[in-house]
Amino acid sequence: MMNSGKLAGKTLFITGASRGIGKAIALKAAKDGANVVIAAKTADPHPKLPGTIFTAAKEVEEAGGKALPCVVDVRDEGQIQSAVDNAVKKFGGIDILVNNASAVSLSPTLKTDMKRYDLMNNINTRGTFLVSKTCLPHLKKSSNGHILNLSPPLNMDPFWFKDHVAYTIAKYGMSMCAIGMAEEFKSDGVAVNALWPKTSNKDLFPDSFLDANNYKSIFKKHSQMKGASQKRMMSTQAGDGGIEGIFTNLKGKLNADIVGATQAIFQFNLTADGKEETYHIDLRNGEGSAGKGKPADKPDATLTMNADNFQKLFAGKLKPTSAFMTGKLKISGNMQKAMKLEKLLSSLKSKA
């Protein structure tokens, strides 16, 4: 999309802007010549995740904007107030607030500890409310103040709640802030909206969702092969052994490097003809292992799905994002670890 220049001279306050979607928005605005406040926790380099508020600020400057990096934990009222005050002092005001900071854990109710529940609600809902509340006096002074929350539409279909009630509550809280504040501050000339982007690149995920190790996201769009080519891929990957053939093929591709980078054990509960069978991939010990049966150690993540869909997933016929969002794939345990399985999917395709 071409830049229009409409943001030239405008000041954006973006939470979680050191990487991911937040940084992408910051860089897009910078190309218009905007002032960007990089409000995020990452002051020091993360051992696995690239980017800090300072590297993001440098990129903003290089893209044509002006930047102010601020250490901000959206749970900390003092840090938020300080960042807002510094932004107003440096740029003269705030025109646009982007509430992007978010915590994600797609865990079912019985496996969601309260520490994780509180983290998601304190960052997503409370953080959005608090940052908005702190910025609003300045947004009201802007000629065209805006708040943009990165949150989903309020779909009350139970499907969007089951299996991850805590997360949905936290994200819907952000959306409710948008609805309520839009009406509350309409007469003040402040527009409040929500945006729920379709993400297909791991680099655009929120900080607290992935501890990415140069892995492609499980939500990356998979290229699909048609006709005979697709059949050959399935045959090559699964062999004549069906599901067991997939794991046998996979076992031959494991090595110490993959184990070292992943450090996770996965269990697969696959159902066929009403019967459930269990398989595993151990990427925590030795050279790695894969096969039928439960893993020797407790799995970090358990994936449950129909055996046919599992084969389609490994053949590239079924996109992981579609499988998960339509209920064909259920994931329990450590979601961050589960995301790393994309590396294995890519490996199977590239070596087939």
**Positions marked active-site:** 167
> Up-side HSE of residue 64: CA atoms within 13 Å toward CB?
14
Residues 6+ apart with CB under 8 A from 85: none
Buried b (16+ CB within 10 A) or exposed e, 172-186: bbbbbbbeebeeebe
Question: What number of residues does the chain have?
Answer: 352
Torsion of CA 337, 342, 344, 349, to 10 degrees: 180
* Measured CA distances, 318 to 236, 245, 345 (Å): 17, 18, 11
| Distance of alpha carbon 171 from alpha carbon 123, whole angstroms | 10
Q: If you write DSSP's letter for every residue of 21-83 in order, what string do you get?
A: HHHHHHHHHHTTT-EEEEEES--S--SSS---HHHHHHHHHHHT-EEEEEE--TT-HHHHHHH
Q: Residue 282 belongs to what H/E stretch?
A: strand 275-283
| Distance of alpha carbon 91 from alpha carbon 132, whole angstroms | 18
Smallest CA-to-CA distance from 336 within 111, 107, 171 is with: 107
Q: Are strands 35-40 and 96-99 parallel, antiparallel or unpaired?
A: unpaired
| Distance of alpha carbon 125 from alpha carbon 129, whole angstroms | 6
Number of other CB atoms surrounding residue 48 within 10 Å: 11
